[in-house]
């Protein structure tokens, strides 16, 4: 069996010295200030090579991005062969490699992985890379490639991509030449597949008014501009916030996270009651919609609203196609608005599962349904079709023209949706398909149910790791006594609900609150925020003035 060339590893490692910081591979991979990432990315390259060798040379994806974080941050996450997130058990290996204090420790840990996981180092390793528009990305790609060189892995750099495009290409490469072939493994192949399906879905329908699309001054801007020629005249889109040349503007006062958290339009975007607007986040894996009511009130259509729209449409299509055997389910997190859960269960009569925050939890649960719809409230989500559901859809033969059209639309829907991961481009086409087919305005869509007012508050704390949750992150078990104090406050508010969980990506604790009215919701959020900040003196930095 081959062994590691320690001299080669030491020479490469010397180019990427480890700082004194401690690192953790979490839900979003590694994410932090870009100037801390060099050694982390180098070692993640080693991990990617080991992962590929473990899987007999299958292609592993690497995306260098910090998503909705500020421009000074960056990050890295690995993608498994079918386009899914890195297998959970390997996250601990990523963390351990990143924290090895010396080359000797690094070599020892690699050897322990090789032995315990029975990795054959003589196997080939194949890894592909993509990055967003952050200035730090190029140097970090080089650090990652140095990590691949430790184990002689073959790499292909696809340059600037959206995160979902990298997931898509990874799956395409690993399924090429098989019955499960997912498509042409390139950005162009991605554009062709989605555009062809979308054109089928809106064929013969009256085109909607132009969509105003905020791209958060991120990678979604140039990539959606590339996409538009493939869509032709099937859709009209006006792109705003597309300045990728000024890095400081990335996600600044714009993008899906800004709109969702602030419950307001991006700064500088002038809306009228006739406009339909959407925002991507910085790496284009989230989308939220919004509009302005006749009285000037901002109205958000977030991931919960998209999930309800998609579930309603798919259920209706399945019925129209006469395929009663296909069961649709929806997966949410604790951040889902309580009104959305009631709508799904009581109006659509669809089963709803609640799982911890994080794409891997949602995706895994969605796979349990024939058609699983999953969206986080922040706008990250997709729809997954089981192999048996796809087989049923593609073998179905309509007994009437209406059934034939529904079957055709179901097939096209499975193609327009990027089933590997939440994808803002794909989800945009999904929403535009439904609104076009129904000829709905955002306001009509919004009338399915009325959200309870909600508020998300960040509390900067000294140590987020002491906050432990259970029940899909809806209850705290540590610090002891804090959950009971939260419950006592919540009881004082009509339709009150609140939970606290540590962020997976930032040194903060997030407080979610909803109640019957906006003023009650804001008060509840700020009371819980103040409680968390004060509890055992956990707060860090100045106490926010709005905390009660």
Q: And the tokens for 227?
A: 């996409």
Residue 377 annotated as binding site: yes
- Cα torsion angle, 186, 226, 233, 384, sign: positive
Supply the DSSP symbol for 233.
G
Q: CA-CA distances (angstroms) from residue 389 to 144, 196, 420?
A: 39, 21, 16
Three-state DSSP state, 24: coil
For residue 83, give the nearest of 155, 190, 160, 194 by alpha carbon.
Answer: 190
User: How many Cα atoms sit within 13 Å of 532 on the Cβ side?
Assistant: 33
Could you give phi then psi for residue 319, rounded to 5 degrees? Answer: -65, -45
* Cβ partners under 8 Å of residue 543, min gap 6: 530, 533, 534
Q: Which helix (DSSP H) or strand (DSSP E) does residue 381 occupy?
A: strand 381-385
Residue 283 annotated as binding site: yes
- Beta bridge partner(s), residue 382: 374
Three-state DSSP state, 353: strand
Residue 503 annotated as binding site: yes
Alpha-helix runs per DSSP H in 181-300: 187-202, 220-231, 255-262
Residue 163 annotated as binding site: no
Residue 510 annotated as binding site: yes
Contact 155, 143 (CB under 8 A): no
Query: Measured between alpha carbons, how far apart are the two ends of the chain, in Å?
Result: 63
For residue 147, give the nearest of 254, 270, 219, 47 by alpha carbon.
Answer: 47
Catalytic residue check, 67: yes
User: Within 10 A of 483 (CB to CB), how many other CB atoms are there?
Assistant: 18
Residue 378 annotated as binding site: yes
Supply the DSSP symbol for 286.
-
Identify the active-site residue in 67, 279, 340, 353: 67
Residue 415 annotated as binding site: no
Residue 51 annotated as binding site: no
**Which residue ranges are tagged as binding site for substrate?**
376-378, 501-505, 510
Question: What residue numbers does the annotated binding site for Mg(2+) cover?
Answer: 67, 281, 283, 285
Q: Give the residue ranges of the annotated binding site.
A: 67, 281, 283, 285, 376-378, 501-505, 510
Catalytic residue ranges: 67
């Amino acid at each position: 069996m081959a062994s590691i060339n320690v001299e080669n590893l030491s020479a490469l490692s010397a180019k990427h010295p480890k700082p004194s910081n401690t690192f953790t591979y979490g839900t979003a991979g590694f994410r932090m200030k870009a100037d801390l990432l060099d050694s982390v990315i180098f070692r993640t390259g080693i991990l990617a090579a080991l992962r590929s060798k473990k899987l007999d040379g299958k292609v592993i994806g690497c995306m260098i991005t910090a998503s909705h974080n500020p421009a000074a941050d960056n990050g890295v996450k690995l993608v498994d062969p079918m386009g899914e997130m890195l297998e959970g058990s390997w996250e601990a290996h990523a963390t351990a490699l990143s924290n090895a204090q010396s080359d000797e420790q690094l070599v020892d840990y690699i050897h322990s992985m090789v032995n315990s996981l029975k990795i054959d180092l003589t196997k080939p390793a194949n890894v592909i890379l993509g990055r967003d528009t952050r200035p730090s990305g190029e140097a970090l790609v080089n650090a990652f490639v140095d990590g691949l060189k430790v184990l002689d892995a073959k790499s292909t750099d696809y340059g600037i991509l959206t995160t979902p495009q990298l997931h898509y290409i990874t799956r395409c490469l690993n399924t090429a030449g098989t019955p499960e072939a997912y498509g042409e493994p390139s950005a162009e192949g991605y554009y062709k597949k989605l555009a062809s399906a979308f054109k089928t879905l809106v064929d013969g329908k009256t085109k909607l008014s132009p969509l105003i699309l905020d791209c958060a001054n991120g990678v979604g801007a140039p990539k959606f501009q590339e996409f538009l020629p493939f869509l032709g005249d099937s859709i009209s889109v006006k792109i705003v916030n597309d300045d990728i040349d000024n890095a400081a503007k990335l996600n600044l006062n714009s993008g899906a996270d800004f709109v969702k958290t602030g419950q307001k339009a991006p700064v500088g975007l002038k809306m009228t009651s006739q406009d339909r607007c959407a925002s991507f986040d910085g790496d284009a894996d989230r989308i939220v919609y919004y509009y302005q009511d006749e009285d000037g009130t901002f109205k958000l259509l977030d991931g919960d609203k998209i999930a309800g729209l998609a579930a309603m449409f798919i259920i209706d299509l399945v019925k129209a196609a006469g395929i009663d055997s296909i069961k649709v389910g929806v997966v949410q997190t604790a951040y889902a608005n309580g009104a959305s859960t009631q709508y799904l269960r009581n109006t659509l009569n669809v089963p709803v599962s609640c799982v911890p925050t994080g794409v891997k939890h949602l995706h895994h649960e969605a796979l349990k349904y024939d058609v699983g719809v999953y969206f986080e409230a922040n706008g990250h989500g997709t729809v997954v079709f089981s192999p048996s559901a796809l087989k049923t859809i593609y073998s179905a033969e309509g007994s009437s023209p209406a059934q034939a059209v529904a079957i055709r639309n179901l097939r096209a829907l499975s193609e327009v949706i990027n089933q590997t991961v939440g994808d803002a481009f794909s989800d945009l086409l999904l929403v535009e398909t439904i609104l076009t087919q129904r000829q709905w305005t955002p306001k009509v869509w919004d009338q399915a149910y009325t959200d309870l007012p909600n508020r998300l508050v960040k509390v900067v704390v000294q140590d987020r790791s002491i906050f432990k949750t259970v029940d899909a992150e809806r209850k705290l078990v540590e610090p002891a006594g804090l959950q009971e104090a939260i419950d006592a406050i919540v009881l004082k508010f009509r339709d009150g609900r609140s939970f606290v969980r540590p962020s997976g990506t930032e040194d903060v604790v997030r407080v979610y609150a909803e109640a019957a009215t906006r003023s009650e919701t804001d008060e509840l959020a700020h009371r819980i925020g103040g409680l968390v900040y004060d509890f055992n003196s956990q707060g860090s930095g100045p106490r926010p003035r709005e905390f009660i």
